[in-house]
């Protein structure tokens, strides 16, 4: 096969593959394996942050 023809066919095939790849969408992400575990973990983090932000107890007054 003549090199110029071979190169032309190569470019044509590459363009076809790029067009197919552009139309192909990614697969959706799988659902989390442990949704309850993750939700419980984030709830515990939120609770810990709330406890850390509580104002300190009032100091005892000496009268």
| pTM for the full predicted model | 0.36
Residues 13-43: tens digit of each pLDDT: 999 988 888 887 676 777 767 788 888 999 9
Task: Convert the pLDDT of each residue in 5-18 to its tens digit.
Answer: 899 999 999 999 88
Instruction: Concatenate the DSSP letters of all residues of 12-57 into one string.
Output: HHHHHHHHHHHHPPPPPPPPPS-HHHHHHHHHHHHHHHHHHTSPPP
């Amino acid at each position: 096969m003549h090199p110029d023809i071979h190169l032309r066919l190569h470019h044509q095939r590459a363009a076809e593959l790029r067009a197919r790849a552009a139309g192909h969408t990614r697969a959706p992400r799988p659902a989390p394996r442990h949704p309850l575990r993750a939700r419980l973990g984030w709830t515990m983090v939120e609770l810990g942050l709330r406890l850390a932000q509580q104002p300190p107890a009032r100091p005892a007054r000496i009268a």
